[in-house]
Amino acid sequence: MERTLITGGAGFLGSHLCEFFIAQGHEVISMDNLIKKENIENIAHLMGHERFKYIKYDVTEYLHVEGKLDNILHFASLASPKDYLDYPIQTLKVGSLGTHKTLGLAKEKKARFLLASTSEVYGDPMVHPQPESYPGNVDPVVPRGVYDEAKRFAEAITMAYHRTHGLQTRIARIFNTYGPRMRLDDGRALPNFMVQALKGEDITVYGNGTQTRSFCYVDDLIEGIKKLLYSNEAEPVNLGNPEEITILDFAKEIVHLTGSKSRINFCPLPQNDPKVRQPDINKAKTILGWEPKINRQEGLRRTLQYFKKKLEV
Ligand code: UDP
């Protein structure tokens, strides 16, 4: 039986990974410092499962786990712009110190290591769509730089452990992902728009809404993570859905889906908000035989069920 540690294991993606690997027959250890206390609800249904264990711990501290480990998936991090602007130092620490500690543990246990990296390593990209070979356009000293640079450091140290210690490492560059268990107040476009639409409030589109994103449904992403984990690819691999949409059209799509009467309210654009973002997933297609299967219409429909339940509407 494989034993798998998931850091950030109570978060949006972390909790889906816990569920997924339990279903695959693994013994799963979910580690999380619960910086967002309510995230414990994401794994409440797994508590008491014989192959699931939750450990409340901050991975930036010295890390010890009893027994063998076959896989370590390092998903601990604040990940929404609002969160990493609220917690800039914790964001830098978990990407740097936290990645160092989890790599050290992987070395000790001879475990496979997978880093949750991000499309943010491309910053405000000048190449579109973004292939893995594009080194990015990132400003380290703007507020958003805390996340971008933490993840860039995380990638660098992961490659260094691979090259120096021969560790089996993987780097997933995750593009915008959505689905059930996103925090309603995480400040991202989808939760904001859905909550606003369901409450009949104005929809806050930042800037003129012409900036683009490409949204991947969580189940597709998790499948990609699994395929990457069991591949032999140490270099970064983009995982995301290449279907690109402007933020204004995305807002309208959600208003339409919910049948809401909400109106669009244009608000100031945050500093250094990337103007475009779309993954080039040719590498994932070729190496992993992976591509997303769930289109936005279906993914949004499933996500809406979750948001309605949370808001009890
Ligand atoms: N955005 C918006 N209104 C909101 C929240 C976000 O218009 O209430 C915009 C944001 O400026 C960005 C895009 O939606 O251009 C996606 O933002 P999100 O926070 O979801 O993640 P990002 O892709 O920027 O990391």
Enumerate the domain spans of the chain: 3-178+218-241+282-288, 189-212+244-277+294-311
CATH number of 3-178+218-241+282-288: 3.40.50.720
> What distance in angstroms lies between residue 223's CA and the mean position of ligand 1's atoms?
25
CA distances to 67, 100, 272 from 242, rounded to whole Å, are 40, 31, 22
Ligand 1 contact, 211 CB (< 6 A): yes
For the stretch 42-101, pLDDT in tens is: 999 999 999 999 999 999 999 999 999 999 999 999 999 999 999 999 999 999 999 999
Check if 273 has its Cβ closer than 6 Å to any atom of ligand 1: yes
Among 54, 84, 122, 147, which one carries the catalytic annotation? 147
Give yes or no for a contact between 177 and 119, defined as CB atoms under 8 angstroms apart: no
Q: Would you list the DSSP string of 191-254? A: HHHHHHHHHTPPEEEETTS--EEE-EEHHHHHHHHHHHHTS---S-EEES---EEEHHHHHHHH
Active site residue 147: yes
- 176 touches ligand 1 (CB under 6 Å): yes
pTM: 0.97
Burial 245-272 (b: 16+ CB within 10 A, else e): bbbbebbbebbebbebebebeeeeeeeb
pLDDT tens by residue, 166-199: 999 999 999 999 999 999 999 999 999 999 999 9
Give residue 186's pLDDT.
96
How many A from CA of 189 to the centre of ligand 1?
A: 4
For residue 19, what pLDDT band results from cuts at 50, 70 and 90? very high
Summarize pLDDT for 276-312 with one digit per residue, the tens. 999 999 999 999 999 999 999 999 999 999 999 999 8
Mean pLDDT of the chain: 97
- Could you list the beta-strand ranges (E) of the chain: 3-7, 27-32, 52-56, 71-74, 112-118, 169-174, 177-178, 203-206, 212-214, 216-217, 237-239, 244-246, 264-267
Atom 13 of ligand 1: nearest residue by CA position? 189
- Give the model's pLDDT for residue 313: 74
Fold that domain 189-212+244-277+294-311 belongs to in CATH: UDP-galactose 4-epimerase; domain 1 (3.90.25)
pLDDT surpassing 80 at residue 165: yes
Residue 114 binned pLDDT confidence (cut-offs 50, 70, 90): very high
